[in-house]
Amino acid sequence: MTPFQTIFVSTDGRIRAGWRLLMQLVLSILIYIPLSLVAAQFGGQRTQMVAFGVAVTIAIWLAAVAFDRRPMRDFGLRIDTQWWRDCLAGFLLATMVMSLIVLFQWAMGWIEFTGYGWDRASQRNFVVMLGGYVLAMAVVGFYEELWSRGYQLKNLTEGFYTGSNRNVAGLAAIAISSLVFGFLHIGNPNITLLGIVVIILAGVMFAMSYVMTGQLGFAVGLHFAWNVIQGALYGLPVSGVRFRQSVLQFEASGPELWTGGRFGPEGGILGVIGVLLIMLLTWSLLRRRGLRLAISDELVRPPSSPDTYH
């Protein structure tokens, strides 16, 4: 192999991690363009979210086959009973913490209960709209974790790994992928500097369970619940986007520094506290399973059998 070739190809014959990340991103954009045109004919913002999630997932699968030479299960998708248990545990944990945030605001007089979602529309329309929102949040929770943690974080860790620096490589990967995760939300409505900081911190929160277990189940459950409980149940803005037909209707009036105002809890001190609390509880739960706060060897393991990409 010539020195020029080593810029693009690693010693195992695969394209280097940095190039894999770039090409997967290009694939996502190319696939999303036609899907977005189709989605525009059927709906608004949430339909576009689903279209982008489909594009990213297809692009990761194509990149896995062509560039990574890995089956999809290597990106935290070894879906078995334990994976679903982790997903449920993450969902319940985020539900509890988000409920505590809402309860605290209510106790402080910072939010006021104003009614129910079906008061804004007919019963039938309410169910359809609520179901559509929950589906969109499920897609977002899955594809953002598959992309930001499963694909990006894994490839970054592999790219920095030299054979004896697994934890250092993983920490660098967490930092970069979380910064990218925060950057991707800069265009959200009502974004604030504190909101960006909280989302970057949330990227670390989601990464924590992934690097400890090597699987995405816990992170997907966390992400889905954080969005759907906040938006569909309590009606608070989710990273600046508000769902007006939530089950419970609340109006926030407290100090924006604490509540996040129109950006939602992610834009305030309560969001910081919530993320830190979830990180502490995640560490506690996974430690009881005998897992250490360290980078799992799953993130630097060579590709598993490439004969079946599923």
For residues 144 and 163, membership in a common domain is answered with yes
CB 249 within 8 A of CB 235: yes
Q: What is the mean pLDDT of residues 155-162?
A: 94
Question: pTM of the prediction?
Answer: 0.92
Query: Which residues, other chains included, contact 95 with Cβ-Cβ below 8 Å and sequence gap of 6+?
Result: 225, 229
Residue recorded with tokens 């020195």: 3
For residues 60 and 76, membership in a common domain is answered with no
For residues 26 and 153, membership in a common domain is answered with no
d(CA 225, CA 89): 10
For residues 79 and 58, membership in a common domain is answered with no
- Structural domain contains residue 275: yes
Average pLDDT over the chain, rounded to an integer: 91
- pLDDT at residue 201 is higher than 90: yes
- Structural domain contains residue 59: yes
For residues 111 and 39, membership in a common domain is answered with no
From 42-46, 199-203, 214-218, 239-243, the region with the lowest mean pLDDT: 42-46
For residues 186 and 87, membership in a common domain is answered with yes
d(CA 294, CA 292): 5
Query: Which residues, other chains included, contact 179 with Cβ-Cβ below 8 Å and sequence gap of 6+?
Result: 200, 203
- Structural domain contains residue 269: yes
- Structural domain contains residue 14: yes
- Structural domain contains residue 97: yes
- Structural domain contains residue 234: yes
pLDDT tier at 310, thresholds 50, 70, 90: very low
- pLDDT at residue 244 is higher than 90: no
For residues 119 and 226, membership in a common domain is answered with yes
**Which residues form the domain of 63?**
1-69
Neighbours of 172 (CB within 10 A): 16
Query: Residue 15 is inside which H or E element, if any?
Result: none
d(CA 189, CA 203): 19
Q: What is the mean pLDDT of residues 284-298?
A: 92
Neighbours of 187 (CB within 10 A): 8
At which of 69, 95, 118 does a domain end?
A: 69
Residue scoring higher pLDDT (254 or 204): 204
Contacts 24+ apart (CB under 8 A), 254-258: 254/105, 254/108, 254/109, 254/110, 254/111, 255/110, 257/194, 258/110
For residues 163 and 221, membership in a common domain is answered with yes
For residues 30 and 121, membership in a common domain is answered with no
At which of 69, 92, 111 does a domain end?
A: 69
- pLDDT at residue 120 is higher than 90: no
Cα–chain-centroid distance for residue 102?
21
Total domains, the chain: 2
d(CA 79, CA 32): 26
Per-residue pLDDT of 68-114, as tens digits, reads 999 999 999 999 999 999 999 999 999 999 999 999 999 999 998 88
- Structural domain contains residue 309: no
* Distances in whole angstroms, Cα of residue 279 to Cα of each of 32, 83, 267: 33, 19, 18
Nearest alpha-carbon partner for 90 in 224, 290, 239, 207: 224
Nearest alpha-carbon partner for 24 in 64, 71, 63: 63
For residues 161 and 218, membership in a common domain is answered with yes
Q: What's the pLDDT at 242? A: 87
Q: What's the pLDDT at 123? A: 64
For residues 116 and 216, membership in a common domain is answered with yes
Q: What's the pLDDT at 40? A: 87
Directed axis angle between helix 123-144 and helix 217-228, to 10°? 140
- pLDDT at residue 303 is higher than 80: yes
- Structural domain contains residue 308: no
At which of 47, 69, 91 does a domain end?
A: 69
Per-residue pLDDT of 159-173, as tens digits, reads 999 888 999 999 999
d(CA 178, CA 149): 9
- pLDDT at residue 3 is higher than 90: no
- pLDDT at residue 118 is higher than 90: no
Q: What's the pLDDT at 214? A: 94
Q: What's the pLDDT at 11? A: 80
For residues 47 and 3, membership in a common domain is answered with yes
Q: Return phi, psi of residue 109, to 5°.
A: 75, 20
Q: What's the pLDDT at 243? A: 87
